[in-house]
Amino acid sequence: MQLAVVGSGYVGLVAGACFADLGHDVIVVDNDQKKLAALNRGEVPIHENFLPELLERHRGTRIRFSDDLQNAVRASKAIFVAVGTPPTHQGEADLSYVESVARGIAGAIDSYKVVVEKSTVPVYTSDWVRKIILRNGAEHGEFDVASNPEFLREGTAVTDFLYPDRIVIGADTGRCAAVLREIYAPLVEGSYYLRPDVIPRPDRAQIPPPLIATSAKSAELIKHASNAFLAMKISFINAVASICESVGANVQQVREGIGTDTRIGSRFLNPGIGYGGSCFPKDLMAFRSVARESGYDFRLLDEVMRINEDQRVRFIRKVRSALWTLRGKKLGVLGLAFKGGTDDIRESPSILLIKSLLQEGCQVCAYDPAAHERAKEELNASIDFAETPYEAARGADALLILTEWEEFAALDLRQLRSEMKYPIVIDGRNLYDPEIMAAAGYTYYSVGRPAASPEPLPSAKTPTVGKKTHS
């Protein structure tokens, strides 16, 4: 099928590449000429596993890039809208980009089209998109508006798209639902997974994935409710971690005890410095705004957000307790992206913590495998950037681990210690076993676990690799 994807950000570019890999012909539309030129040269603007391979496989054949929305609409049977919906000052989703695209689509409808919301939008957006298209000259019956929310995690977005937990299609007519079912048929019927060049299957993937058909409004709510629930799990375990620190319990043991309950599950029960990124903070505010507009005071969401913000305050307090005073201290920082596997620094807890530490008078030298360039733009050269984790630790009064990159969980502890002024590690992601760190001569602080003190090092059995406790 011929498809158009409007927007070449994280969602649009991944969706376009994956639709092409399913066998569809895709036009990705954007008005950013620099981005289009880079994409046509084969450059990939985001750090995303398997995305370069898919774009290289299909660029110029099944996927092409254009700034001509109307021609893309005329050529396509379904148009996926994947433009940004940033928060306003009131916390509502700014839908002006969605409205602009809807107006552009209206003037190009020359046969039946399915307009699909792929951006995360509040309930009733499908109704408004339909009204805007009608107001701008389209006729009833010439189009339908559907909601097809994405559930992609940055860093694993390609495999999340091709091996989804579920596919949700929100359509209010049978004709519209049939088009969406046809688009996803290679996944739902399983034919995609029989190909020799298929993207590798991740653990726990369900093949084929279930397809859930709902109304458009239900699909819009499913996306916001899903993200709100996942953010709630993160805030819950962080609140539990705070209690563990107060009473001397170990949150990893508590997490295992509750996470093995199949009604709860262990995913998203990792204590740390809080959630970030482009989705959770924005979507929670938008969902709260929708609830208020509908007459419901969703105070649980207020508490989820408060706990998340408080987690950063608690971490700064932990750094201060380890170093006493902060002014003039040199800190090594591992991690700038909001999570491992991506170069995205939007609402990154690491960036927010670094800004707080700079205000306290600290000197910071940071390392991240992918997010250096984006962080340089955000931090305006106010910190130093290292080429390796060991360079970031050189001469540091303490080392802070703020992002859960896999390489940070497998450092050579002897080399790391030799670089540092004082062997103090403050781990905001609980990547190491406190006993191993203590045996390696470190004073080690983590989240929700007792601090570990150095022990004499056996000369022949000095551990050199830390034990990763979660991914």
Give the residue among 161, 113, 167, 117 at the shortest CA–CA distance from 138. 113
Amino acid (1-letter code) at residue 62: R
Distance spanning both ends of the chain, measured CA to CA: 38
Residue where the block lists tokens 């750090």:
47
Q: Which of 5, 82, 10 is nearest to 48 (CA)?
A: 10
- Residue with the two structure tokens 């409004």: 217
- Residues with a known catalytic role: 279
Contact 154, 370 (CB under 8 A): no
In this structure, is the dihedral angle defined by the CA atoms of residues 55, 59, 64 and 65, taken in order, positive or negative? positive
- Strand 211-214 relative to strand 443-445: parallel, antiparallel, unpaired? unpaired
Which residue has tokens 């969703």?
A: 298
Q: Which residue has the tokens 């130093």?
A: 384
For the chain, how many helices (H) and strands (E)?
18, 14
Q: Is the peptide bond before 389 cis (omega within 30 degrees of 0)?
A: no
Q: For tokens 């995913």, what's the residue?
A: 267
